[in-house]
Amino acid sequence: VIMKAPFVPPGQPHIEDICSISRNGMTITWSARETDGGSEVTNYIIEKKDEKWNQMVQMQPTEDNRPIL
């Protein structure tokens, strides 16, 4: 008998591309996580870091799990 953890930690989404960068925004494309840790993605949080931390936007995933910003 081999003891294993009862859960698998969720993975991070893989950033594929960042384009259309401007002063007011950008387009981010990423692929789904390899493991979900037993839970579906319910939203993504995109943050912008300047001199201080600011939460930018919280979005629901689209049909293909790629939110459109």
Residue 7 is part of which domain span? 1-69
Lowest mean pLDDT among 15-24, 26-35, 44-53, 59-68: 59-68
Neighbouring C-beta atoms of residue 27, cutoff 10 Å: 12
pTM, to two decimals: 0.47
Residue 68 structure tokens: 């459109």
pLDDT category of residue 23 using cuts at 50, 70 and 90: confident
Query: Cβ(66)–Cβ(30) under 8 Å?
Result: yes
Using the predicted structure, report yes or no on whether residue 16 has a pLDDT greater than 80: yes
Give how many domains the chain has, as a whole number. Answer: 1
Number of H helices, E strands in the chain: 0, 4
pLDDT value of residue 39: 77
Classify 55 as helix, strand or coil. strand
Neighbouring C-beta atoms of residue 44, cutoff 10 Å: 17
Smallest CA-to-CA distance from 67 within 18, 11, 29, 15 is with 29
pLDDT value of residue 15: 83
